[in-house]
A and B are shown apart, each in its own frame.
With several copies, the nearest count.
Chain A
Amino acid sequence: MTDQPQQIGLTRDAMAQRVALDIRDGAYVNLGIGIPELVAKYVPEGREVIYHTENGLLGMGPSPEPGHGDPELINAGKRQVTANPGAAFFHHADSFAMIRGGHLDLCVLGALQVAANGDLANWSTGGPDAIPAVGGAMDLVAGVKTIYVITQHCTKKGDPKLVGACGYPLTGLGVVDRVYTDLAVIDITDRGFQLVELSPGVSFDYVQERTGAPLIAVGGAPVIGSTEP
């Protein structure tokens, strides 16, 4: 794990690395645009994960070598990618049949806000001048079996992103299973946010102060990186 003693909390790469530990061998996974894309780099040796991109590819590989890309082989973020051996191309209705039909095991998404009941807001700040754009986010959270969110614990202004109720327009109701932040790993349970792990050097109280709803501690939450899941 990347060591960043100069700051409190995990780097984006360290957060992605922590998420990657929880992806099982053989899983079919969709990674959202942004920090989620980093997760693919950190899947542990010996695990084979098949990546789905909703624009019509299963078995997505990493970015192409410079000069070897095809502008018509891209991911959902419109960046050039490659196709691994065993890949398959298909049209959008088939691609979202995979999503809506519950065939994907996991989706990792970014968030603007996550509520204690699992509600997710990640598509619009609802501002009067914003151009509304939803893409496949609502389909993914409605259809994929397990939804992980990877996000900074707070906004740049310092406001909590884990909240009692989302103020931003919702992407889906009660859809998030687990949240990975720079400060902690937190499950969404019937009773609300439940601490799973703390980042190195971060205390329960530190996380609770930066969380907009009660945080449940169960036993002593281990430090991220101190155990091998």
Chain B
Amino acid sequence: MINKQVASVAEAVADVFDGATVMVGGFGEAGSPIELLHALIDQGATDLTVVNNNTGSGEVGLAALIKAGRVAKMICSYPRTTNSTVFPELYRSGRIELELVPQGTLAERIRAGGAGIPAFYTQTAVGTPLEEGHERRTFDGCDYLLAHGLTADFAIIKGRTADQHGNVVYNKTARNFAPLMAMAATTTIVQASAVVSLGKLDPEVIVTPGIFVDRVIAVVDPEHESALVAAGVSYR
């Protein structure tokens, strides 16, 4: 019978391999799967390509993973935020690669990857420096750029409540990229504040159906990035 719940965050990320592409849920700290990220640091996988809107803040969560030298390349829309110092330092010294993608194109590329769409056209970035490398094409008198679907080996995301089939609901603006990343990754790993028994989630309100989820781990009282940063915590 289907039970996607695993026993620990360590078990949840055990098979992330060197060189993997990992999508990490979250916009700023909202939806950032801190505990899974710290488990990934402990696990040791390196040379990762990470997809996230930002690059983390302070020296916890995603920023800690970057600081630990595990990330070869970031694909994101906004790599500098308040309290974000780790990425800028590595980037300026040429020790991390950056693929900058407009936020909406990034979101749609991830959805396309998950939906089996290899490419689509978007008006975003036409005539800007970020047009570089993209085919331009005219439809109905307007110019658009070709953007490619984006997939990943793993997605690590944070939900509010999940069940054993991997159905997930989210908390407020912590939803952001997570439902898209769950679709786009070969293996999707969800940390949720509660894992409830089957049938407790109303089928009408499920945001991520379990078909997109491979593993669920309960992290009952997850850390908040801003609180850790304010407390001066540095992971590793």
Interface residues of A (CB under 8 A from B): 25-26, 28, 46, 48, 50, 52-59, 70-74, 78, 83, 85-104, 124, 129, 131-139, 142-143, 169-173
> Nearest-CB distance from A57 to chain B (Å)?
6
- Using Cβ atoms and an 8 Å threshold, which residues of chain A touch B123? 100, 142-143
Contact A50 B210 (CB under 8 A): yes
Whether B43 is near chain A, meaning CB under 8 Å from some CB there, is no
Number of B interface residues in the complex (CB < 8 A): 72
Query: How many Å lie between the Cα of A219 and that of B170 in the bound state?
Result: 54
Query: How many Å lie between the Cα of A132 and that of B99 in the bound state?
Result: 10
Q: Which residue of B lies closest to A46 (CB)?
A: B1
> Nearest-CB distance from A110 to chain B (Å)?
15
Query: How many Å lie between the Cα of A144 and that of B107 in the bound state?
Result: 17
Flag B96-120 by CB within 8 Å of A: 1 or 0 each.
0010101111011011011111000
Contact A85 B29 (CB under 8 A): no
Flag B69-97 by CB within 8 Å of A: 1 or 0 each.
00000000111111000011001100000
Contact B126 A142 (CB under 8 A): yes
Query: How many Å lie between the Cα of A86 and that of B197 in the bound state?
Result: 9
Interface residues of B (CB under 8 A from A): 1-2, 27-31, 77-82, 87-88, 91-92, 98, 100, 102-105, 107-108, 110-111, 113-117, 122-130, 163-165, 167, 170-180, 183, 198-199, 201, 203-204, 206-207, 209-212, 224-227
> Nearest-CB distance from B219 to chain A (Å)?
14
Query: Knowing A135-B77, A138-B128 touch, does A101 contact B114 (C-beta < 8 A)?
Result: yes
Contact check: which of B115, B124, B198 meets A97 at CB < 8 Å?
B115
Contact check: which of A83, A96, A102 meets B104 at CB < 8 Å?
A96
Contact B163 A86 (CB under 8 A): yes
- Using Cβ atoms and an 8 Å threshold, which residues of chain B touch A135? 77-78, 102-103
Contact B172 A83 (CB under 8 A): yes
- Using Cβ atoms and an 8 Å threshold, which residues of chain A touch B124? 100, 138-139, 142-143
- Using Cβ atoms and an 8 Å threshold, which residues of chain A touch B178? 91
Q: A48-B1, A86-B210, A172-B126 are in contact. List 6 more A-B contacts (CB 8 A).
A: A74-B30, A83-B203, A131-B91, A142-B124, A143-B123, A143-B124
